[in-house]
Chain A
């Protein structure tokens, strides 16, 4: 069964450092997403990406965040200068359809710990 893969599974970084989280969405999917989940809390939408540009973003997704699809397979989330409160699980997701219906496939997540 096709799956969304994410790397690294866990990253520890110092406050103020840049972090790049990587995702390989399912190959025929067109819409890509990042969500995050702070420990013990609900999953929160960060950003959606389609046709090489951001479709929507939440208020969490400020100027410190950026996304990129550098090639035909990878989808990355960059945090420019990490803060303690960025510590969370970051989930990449993809879907073949546009908003409305269809299954959104999530990866296993990348745990970010900011010290």
Chain B
């Protein structure tokens, strides 16, 4: 079946370095992708999103890149801080036309920032 997955389950980076978290998706019909951050014991927190008609979108310290050719999504975090330590999920919107979100989440990548 269609799925969203992550290449790396864990990532350790030095404070101040840039982080890159990758995600592969297989549903070529997906047209909307979101990155979520989940801290321990908390719910997913929206970071940034991108529609399929774009290949790059920037936020504050974060950039999402979308490569539809290879069905690949990445999240770049600039100048990683200890507060960025969390599990990061990519998600795709399996919009069925019924008018609601049905997000399919990847497994998650744990980002650990080394002070």
Contacts and interface: CB of A to CB of B under 8 A. Distances in A.
Interface stretch (A12-20, A65-73, A76-84, A104-112): A104-112
Interface of A: 4, 31, 33, 35, 41-45, 48, 50, 55-56, 58, 91, 93, 95, 98-101, 103-109
Given A43-B44, A104-B34, A56 B96 contact: yes
B44 to A, nearest CB: 5
Interface residues on B, range: 20 to 34
Interface stretch (B14-22, B59-67, B73-81, B102-110): B102-110
Given A42-B89, A56-B102, A101 B32 contact: yes
A106 B105 contact: no
Interface in B22-58: 31-32, 34, 36, 41-46, 49, 51
A43 B32 contact: no
Contacts, number: 76
Contacts of A56: 96, 98, 100, 102
Contact of A106 (B45, B96, B107): B45
Contacts of A43: 44, 89, 91, 103, 105
A47 to B, nearest CB: 9
B44 A99 contact: no
Given A99-B93, A101-B32, A101-B51, A107 B102 contact: no
A25 B96 CA distance: 23
Contacts of A100: 31-32, 93, 95
B97 to A, nearest CB: 8
B102 to A, nearest CB: 5
A33 B107 CA distance: 20
Contacts of B100: 31, 33, 48, 50, 55-56, 98-99
Given A42-B89, A48-B98, A109-B41, 10 more contacts: A31-B100, A33-B101, A35-B103, A43-B44, A56-B98, A93-B43, A98-B100, A101-B32, A104-B103, A108-B41
